[in-house]
Amino acid sequence: MNRVSAYAASLLLPLLSLAACGPETVTISQDAEIADYTPVVRKILEDHPDGNVEIRFAPGRYDFYPEQAVTEFLSMSNNDSGDRRVAFLLKDMKDVSVRGDSSEFLFHGAIVPFAVKNSRNVSLGGFSIDYDFPWTFEGEVIANDQRSMTFIVRVFPDNKYRIEGDSLLFGGYDWEYPTAENIVFDPETRRPLYNTAIYEHRHWNGRMKARELSPGIVEFSGFDAVRVPPVGSIWDDKGPMDMNRSYPGFAILQSRDVAVEDVHVYRAGAMALIAEFSEDIRVSRMSTAARPGSERMITISADATHFVDCSGTVTLEDCTFESMLDDATNIHGVYMKVDSLLSPGVVMASFGHFQQVGNHFADEGDMLRFVDRKTMHPVASGRLIELKRPDRNRYELVTDADLSLAGDVAALAVENISRGCDVVIRNCKVRYNRARSLLLSTSGDILVENCDFSSMMAGIRICGDANWWYESGNTRNVTIRNNSFTDGGLGGGQPQAILQIDPVIPKESRSCDFFFHDSIVFSGNTVRTFDSQVIYGLSTENLVISDNVFIDSKSHEPIFPGLPVIDVQYCGKVTISGNDFSRWKPDAVISVHECLEVENDSGLETVDRPNPYFYGS
C-alpha cells in the first residue's frame, strides 16, 4: 500500500474505549501494508479535536512522511520559525498521551515530529525519533596538505550529497543545505578535537571548494583556518545558521503540564526539544546518544533542550545528552529592543535576534522591566496593559510604567519578568558535545545536583545579554552541588571556565552599586580539568565557592596558561571556603577585583589579575 492510501487503512485501526468519560485509547500496531503513518495519526487527532485521547504504539518501526502532514506556523525562539509540516500536531488540546513500547519512529524529510501548541496535560514517551538522513555532513579526513590548505574526506555512507560546480550540498528526502559551519571531532574520544578552534573555517561567504575524486571521496580546498584538520579526525558541517535550525524533535509552545519521558532522539534538524512560553515541563530519561556502533559524531544539530520564557518548574532528570552541536540545555528569557517612546508608558519594541522574531512575548497583566542595554541596570518596570502587533517584528507595548525620564529609549531593552521558572536538573550526563553543558538565566530557584558534565566549552554558564542573543534572566538563587566536571574548555578560541558567570557588561560599565545576579552557590563539586581557570564570577551579589575538589587532569597542555583558578570581579560578598586544591596546579592564584567583601581560606595567593579575554576586562 502506498502512502496515499494509508489514510484508508487508518480507518481499520482498533479502537478501545477505556471509560465513558475518560480518555479514549487508540492502539496502533505495525502493519506492512502501511508505508506512511502520518495520515493515520492525523486522522486520530482530527477525530479528537479537544484531546482526551491516548495513542498507543505497539513495538516496531513506524515511518512518517511530510506529504500528508498538517502544516502549522511554528514560532520557535533560537530556531528558524515558519510554516512546518508536523507529524503529531497537538493544538488546543488537553489530556493527550502518545505512548510507545520501545517503538521506533522514523521521519523522512522536512517534517517536525511533535508540536504541542496551546495545550495542557500532555504526556509523550516510550519511543525513539530518527530521520532517514542525518542533518549534518560528516566524514573521516584521510589526507591533508597544510601548505595548500587542502584535505580529503571519506564521506560517511549515510550522507546524501552532490557537488554543483565547486560547491558541496548535502541533504535528505526533500531538503538540501550548502556547507557553512564546521567543527572537527576526535573519533577515539568522540569529543571535539583539543583546541578545535584552530580548524574552524573563518569566512563562509567564500565557501570552500569541493571536488569529488571518486564516489564518497571529496577533496576540499580554499580552507581558511589556522590548521587543516588532522588525518583520522572527523569533519562535520551543519549548513548555514539561517537554515540549520528548522526541524526540532519537539516544539512545545504556549502549553502547560507537558511530560517527555523515556524518549531517545537519535537525530533532529534543530534542537531535540524547544519549549517556549510554557509552564511546568518535565523531561525524564531522555537521551540524544548515537546509535551503538555508529561512526558518526553528531546526533542533534543544535541544543538537546532549550526553554524560553517558561514558568512553573522545568525539570530535567536522569537524562543523557550526548553528541549535540550545542548545549544540553539553555533556560532563559528574552530582551526586546526598545525602538521608540510613543508616550510615557507606551513603547514600540522589536526582537533583536532574527531567531526570536514573531515570538509570543507577553500576556496582558505580565510585569515588564526596562533595562539599560549597556549597563544592564533596571530603569523602570510596569504592568503590560495591552500588546499590539502592527507587523511580525513590531510590538506596541502599553504599560503603566513611566519612561518620560529614561533618556535615550533606544538604549533600553525590555523583558517579561513574570516568566522566570524554577529549575531542577538532577542525575544527568552531558558529554561529547560542542558548546556548553548548561546555560541558566532565569529568576526562579535553580538546583543542579548529582550530574556529570564534560563539554567542549563551559560546564555551566550563567550570563545575560541585551546586545547579541538578547537572552535575559538575572538569577536570584542558584545551587550547584555534588556534580562532576571533566575537561571543559577544550575547544579554544577564548577561555571557558567550568563555572562561568559572565553577564555581558562592558568594562567601563561595571561597578559595585549594582549586581546582575543575586546568590550563586557552587558546593561539593569535583572538577578535573587541564586548563587554568575553573571559576569566573562577575557582578554577583553573593557568591559561595565551598567544599569543592580541584584536580589538575593533565590531559592536555593548558590553552590559556596562567589564568587565576578563581577570578571574581565586581561582586558583593564572595566566600571561598573548605575547597581542596592539593591536586591542583602548584602556581595557582585567586584574582579578586573590585569586590566588596571576600572570605578566603584557600591558602592560595590572592592577586588583582582579571581575565583579559572577557570583554577587555
Alpha-carbon Rg of the chain, whole angstroms?
25
Q: Tell me how long the chain is.
A: 617
Quote the pLDDT of residue 501: 98
Q: pLDDT class for 204, splitting at 50, 70, 90? A: low
Question: Would residue 465 count as lying in a domain?
Answer: no
Q: pLDDT class for 335, splitting at 50, 70, 90? A: very high
CB 424 within 8 A of CB 444: no
Interior/surface letters 442-454, b for 16+ CB within 10 angstroms, e for the rest:
bbbbbbbbebbbb
Domain match, 36 and 153 both: no
CB 145 within 8 A of CB 151: yes
Number of helices and strands in the chain (H, E)? 2, 52
Percent of the chain with pLDDT over 90: 93
* Residue 37 amino acid letter: Y
The 10s digit of each residue's pLDDT in 145-185 is: 999 999 999 999 999 999 999 999 999 999 999 999 999 99
Strand 484-486 vs strand 452-454: parallel, antiparallel, or unpaired? Answer: parallel
Q: pLDDT class for 11, splitting at 50, 70, 90? A: very low
The 10s digit of each residue's pLDDT in 240-299 is: 988 999 999 999 999 999 999 999 999 999 999 999 999 999 999 999 999 999 999 999
Over range 368-397, report the average pLDDT: 96
Tally of CB atoms within 10 A around 507: 12
Given a cut of 70, is residue 353 above it in pLDDT? yes
Question: Would residue 108 count as lying in a domain?
Answer: yes
Over range 425-446, report the average pLDDT: 98
SS3 455: coil
Quote the pLDDT of residue 1: 37
Given a cut of 90, is residue 17 above it in pLDDT? no
In the structure grid, which three cell numbers stand for residue 299, read together? Answer: 546526533
How far is Cα 151 from Cα 222, in angstroms, rounded to an integer?
10
CATH number, domain at 386? 2.40.10.170
Domain match, 582 and 559 both: yes
The 8-class DSSP code of residue 300 comes to B
Given a cut of 70, is residue 615 above it in pLDDT? no
Beta-sheet strands, E only, within 482-539: 484-486, 499-501, 517-523, 526-529, 535-538
Domain match, 562 and 533 both: yes
Strand 422-426 vs strand 445-449: parallel, antiparallel, or unpaired? Answer: parallel
Given 237, 259, 283, the domain boundary residue is 237
Question: Would residue 616 count as lying in a domain?
Answer: no
Q: pLDDT class for 438, splitting at 50, 70, 90? A: very high
The 10s digit of each residue's pLDDT in 292-321 is: 999 999 999 999 999 999 999 999 999 999
Handedness of CA 323, 324, 327, 333 (dihedral sign): negative
Given a cut of 80, is residue 2 above it in pLDDT? no
In the structure grid, which three cell numbers stand for residue 72, read together? Answer: 502549522
Domain match, 123 and 165 both: no
SS3 310: coil
Domain match, 71 and 55 both: yes
Question: Would residue 598 count as lying in a domain?
Answer: yes
The 10s digit of each residue's pLDDT in 523-572 is: 999 999 999 999 999 999 999 999 999 999 999 999 999 999 999 999 99
Given 188, 209, 237, the domain boundary residue is 237
The 10s digit of each residue's pLDDT in 559-607 is: 999 999 999 999 999 999 999 999 999 999 999 999 999 999 999 999 9
Q: CA angle at residue 173 from 167 to 177, to 5 degrees?
A: 30
Given a cut of 80, is residue 516 above it in pLDDT? yes
CB 591 within 8 A of CB 615: no
Which residues on neighbouring strands pair with residue 269, listed in sequence order?
247
How far is Cα 461 from Cα 473, in angstroms, rounded to an integer?
12
The range of the structural domain enclosing residue 523 comes to 476-607
CB 122 within 8 A of CB 283: no
Domain match, 590 and 504 both: yes
Q: pLDDT class for 18, splitting at 50, 70, 90? A: very low
Quote the pLDDT of residue 4: 36
The 10s digit of each residue's pLDDT in 89-129 is: 999 999 999 999 999 999 999 999 999 999 999 999 999 99
Quote the pLDDT of residue 230: 98
More confident residue, 616 or 144: 144
CB 331 within 8 A of CB 443: no
Distance of CA 120 to the CA centre of its chain: 23
Quote the pLDDT of residue 223: 95
Question: Would residue 466 count as lying in a domain?
Answer: no
List C-alpha distances in Å: 440 to 191, 206, 214, 267, 473: 23, 35, 47, 24, 8
Least Cα distance to 96 among 73, 127, 63, 125 occurs for 125
Question: Would residue 612 count as lying in a domain?
Answer: no
Instruction: Report the greatest alpha carbon distance in the chain.
Output: 76
Domain match, 603 and 485 both: yes
CB-based contacts of 556, cutoff 8 Å, min separation 6: 194, 487, 490, 530, 531
Least Cα distance to 464 among 409, 410, 417, 505 occurs for 505
Question: Would residue 617 count as lying in a domain?
Answer: no
Over range 467-482, report the average pLDDT: 96
Domain match, 482 and 596 both: yes
CB 32 within 8 A of CB 77: no
Least Cα distance to 360 among 118, 63, 59 occurs for 118
Residue/partner pairs of 196-200 with CB below 8 Å, 24 or more apart: 196/456, 196/490, 196/491, 196/492, 197/491, 197/492, 197/493, 198/225, 198/226, 198/227, 198/492, 199/225, 199/226, 199/227, 199/228, 199/229, 199/233, 200/225, 200/493
Least Cα distance to 264 among 294, 228, 298, 290 occurs for 290
How far is Cα 516 from Cα 529, in angstroms, rounded to an integer?
28
Domain match, 296 and 278 both: yes
SS3 397: strand
Domain match, 143 and 113 both: no
- What are phi and psi for residue 62, nearest 5 degrees? -130, 125
Instruction: Please give the model's pTM, rounded to 2 decimal places.
Output: 0.96
Over range 391-402, report the average pLDDT: 95
What region, left, alpha or beta, does residue 46 occupy, with left being phi > 0 and alpha being psi -120 to 50 degrees?
alpha
Domain match, 218 and 261 both: no
CB 262 within 8 A of CB 320: no
Tally of CB atoms within 10 A around 146: 11
The 8-class DSSP code of residue 40 comes to H
Quote the pLDDT of residue 614: 78
Domain match, 348 and 397 both: yes
Handedness of CA 551, 553, 558, 559 (dihedral sign): negative
Given a cut of 60, is residue 211 above it in pLDDT? yes
Average pLDDT, the chain: 94
The 10s digit of each residue's pLDDT in 25-79 is: 999 999 999 999 999 999 999 999 999 999 999 999 999 999 999 999 999 999 9
Q: pLDDT class for 613, splitting at 50, 70, 90? A: confident
Q: How many domains does the chain have?
A: 4
Given 392, 416, 440, the domain boundary residue is 416
Question: Would residue 287 count as lying in a domain?
Answer: yes
How far is Cα 207 from Cα 168, in angstroms, rounded to an integer?
9
CB 48 within 8 A of CB 119: no
Over range 82-88, report the average pLDDT: 98
Which residues on neighbouring strands pair with residue 320, listed in sequence order?
287, 429
